[in-house]
Amino acid sequence: MAYRRDEIDPLEVLIARQRFWRRALVFALVFGIVRLLWREDFPQLIAMTSLLVSASAKAAAPQAPVATVEKLTKAQVEEQLRRAPLASGGPRNHYCLPGEKGWDYVCAYSAANPAVVRMKLGVRVTATEIVEASMPYPFYAALPPVTGH
């Protein structure tokens, strides 16, 4: 039987399917690798780098004395979080960084639920206590800005 161009060649269909699945597999692998690399605290690294750059710029410029508002230190906030009742699913293995979007500190922690790896929350403080905390968010999610500050 002679080859006719008006018919669909089964061999061409098989080759096209193989190409499709190969491309889909390569895309899935590349996408997975990019997601894994992005999860390696790149947002935290960028935030820390911007803090270092702004701190070095502030240190280089002479400044007039400014009255500072007394607030809890990072270690004091971590201590208050540490004292949260464990029965209520309080944070464990936490650490705090300088805040963003109006929050005094952003604290990351392990939740009581083992399925949830890392969470974070924004914290506003006074000189003696934590006065406001945001809802918990996944570690890589963005915190909302402080409302009514």
Q: Is residue 18 part of a domain?
A: no
> What pLDDT score does 23 carry?
93
Residue 111 near residue 119, CB atoms below 8 Å? yes
Average pLDDT over residues 12-25: 91
Q: Is residue 41 part of a domain?
A: no
Give domain status of residue 115, yes or no: yes
CB-neighbour burial class of residue 2 (10 A; exposed 0-12, middle 13-18, buried 19+): exposed
Domain residues for 110?
Answer: 70-138
- Residue 133 pLDDT greater than 70, yes or no: yes
Are 113 and 130 spatial neighbours (Cβ–Cβ below 8 Å)?
no
Residue at 145 is within a domain: no
Q: If pLDDT is split at 50, 70 and 90, which confidence band does 87 have?
A: low
* Whole-structure pTM value: 0.50
Instruction: Identify whether 92 is part of a domain.
Output: yes
pLDDT for 72 equals 86
Position 16 in a domain? no
pLDDT reported for residue 141? 85
pLDDT above 70 as % of the chain? 62
CA separation, residue 142 to residues 71, 74, 75, 104, 145 (Å): 24, 20, 23, 15, 9
Residue 64 pLDDT > 70, yes or no? Answer: no
Q: Is position 60 within any domain?
A: no
Alpha helices of the chain — where are they, by DSSP H? 10-38, 42-60, 74-82
Q: What total number of domains does the chain contain?
A: 1
